[in-house]
Copies of this chain bind each other. A is one copy, B any other.
Amino acid sequence: MRPQTERYVRDHLADALALVKRLCAQPSVSAQNYGVQECASLVGEVLTEAGFQARLLPTADPRYPVVYAELSGESPHTLLLYNHYDVQPPDPLELWESPPFQPVEREGRLYGRGVYDDKGEIGARLAAVRALLETRGRLPCTVKFLIEGAEEIGSPGLEAFVKEHRELLRADACIWEGGGVNWEGQPQITLGVKGMAYVELECRAAATDSHSSYAPVVPNAAWRLAWALSTLKGPDERVRIRGFYDDVVPPTEAELEAIRAMPAEEALYKESLGVRRFLLDAQGFEFRRRVLLEPTCNICGIQSGYTGEGTKTVLPAVARAKLDFRLVPEQRPEDIVAKLRVHLEEHGFQDVEVMALEGEAPARTPMDSPWVALVTNAARTVYGKEPVIIPTMPGTGPMHPFVKVLGLPVASSGIGYPDNRIHAPNENIRHDYFLLGVLHAVEIMERLGQG
């Protein structure tokens, strides 16, 4: 990195944080459609001020436009940045130490909804762009921003949007939503996400609830659902839906090696989640391997009959469960839902209906991609610590359109740290890690510009 660029970043850190505050002062809660349009306009304004050609592009749902912006650079190489300007609802409000949409700094931290996820990342990347423009005149590579407004509600229109704008979004590589350091301060580079199939199961066994004295003859929806669920997975944690694992691509040696090299975190999780024993007594490498690489079948909720105080002798006619399946490459949500339907049919549960509520495909960039090396080397230089490469997150996000539709190598890194309180009250970022995140973005752009 050119010394004057680094100096510019350090000298203008307050400006960069001011921009983050400006973005965070504008609410943009996609789940409640609160301030979303206004925030899209603000983001467009901010990008234009920074020198970009910015515009708002509609998605299938016009309430959630994408902000697209582009600024060409010296080299023929192009970097695509994926971010989102929408935020999680701020509830529960009473647990915030300062109002969520009035960002404030306290003791080296900036607090407010969105300061990390994902407006802080937008601000950091814009700070990198500004430093490069101010100290070099032009960017070392072309930079394209795709900033969507519906990430927190599952990015419903994103895949279609990316397909539609394939040409516009053409690039050499992608830096995704965000990231940060671990508890040891090592930068983390994340290369993948799990997918998701979210379904609701509904069993209707009769037209109305009955008195429970009919139990010897009247079908009970709660029993039907309990039995149906128990066929899906057993205490061995293997999903029993025929073909569920068929499309799972075995991890590469490099991915397993990366997981082996990751720090042990299960003690921390055990304490924070209040868990006595993890499933199958997983620990060490196996703990991390399971978290990152195992597809899941999880009951999010189940409801039937009388659940109030005391007793009611009722025989429920309806029972419902919500399930999420976290998927790994190359499982596909619609295929898993189809296999679930076949499974229920084959096991005699024709009375259990499956409603598909959400689907997102998994995605992963190979460890041996040159892009991974570039982002990792840039991090090593900037942070002065050995980066941790995480082959995939345990969570889900809209990475698939970039990997599969655009065919890009994707890595995710950013300004975060473990106590960010993402999605929670008192979401915050630390100035020092924000600075490092900006410098990392500068370094990445410089290196991509060098080809």
Q: Which residues of A contact B (CB under 8 A)?
A: 154, 194, 196, 198, 205-208, 210-220, 222-223, 226-227, 229-230, 233-235, 237, 266, 269, 273-275, 277-279, 282, 287, 290-291, 294, 296-307, 310-317, 319-322, 324, 326, 348, 357-358, 393-396
Please name all residues of chain B whose beta carbon is closer than 8 Å to the beta carbon of A396 when the two chains form the complex. 213, 313
**Interface pairs (21), CB distance under 8 Å:** A154-B311, A198-B311, A205-B275, A207-B273, A207-B274, A208-B274, A213-B393, A214-B273, A214-B394, A216-B237, A216-B291, A217-B269, A218-B275, A218-B278, A220-B299, A226-B229, A227-B234, A227-B235, A274-B317, A300-B315, A307-B320
Please name all residues of chain B whose beta carbon is closer than 8 Å to the beta carbon of A222 when the two chains form the complex. 299-302, 321
Known: A274-B317, A302-B305, A313-B396. 5 other contacts (CB 8 A): A214-B291, A215-B298, A215-B326, A222-B301, A299-B304
For the complex, what is the distance from the CA of A220 to the CA of B235, rounded to whole Å?
A: 11
Copies of this protein in the assembly total 2
CB distance from A337 to the nearest CB of B (A): 14
Q: Chain B residue with minimal CB distance to A280?
A: B217
CB distance from A435 to the nearest CB of B (A): 29
Q: Is the interface of A mostly helix, strand, loop or mixed?
A: mixed
CB distance from A343 to the nearest CB of B (A): 15
Contact A311 B302 (CB under 8 A): no
For the complex, what is the distance from the CA of A357 to the CA of B313, rounded to whole Å?
A: 12
Please name all residues of chain B whose beta carbon is closer than 8 Å to the beta carbon of A298 when the two chains form the complex. 212, 215, 220, 223, 313, 315
Q: Chain B residue with minimal CB distance to A233?
A: B223
Contact A274 B311 (CB under 8 A): no
By CB atoms of chain B within 10 A, which of A294, A296, A316, A326 has the most?
A296
From B215, B217, B299, B348, contact of A282 by CB (8 A): B217
CB distance from A243 to the nearest CB of B (A): 20
For the complex, what is the distance from the CA of A442 to the CA of B189, rounded to whole Å?
A: 90
Contact B291 A302 (CB under 8 A): no
From B198, B291, B306, B310, contact of A313 by CB (8 A): B198
Closest 4 CB pairs of A and B: A207-B274, A301-B305, A230-B230, A222-B299
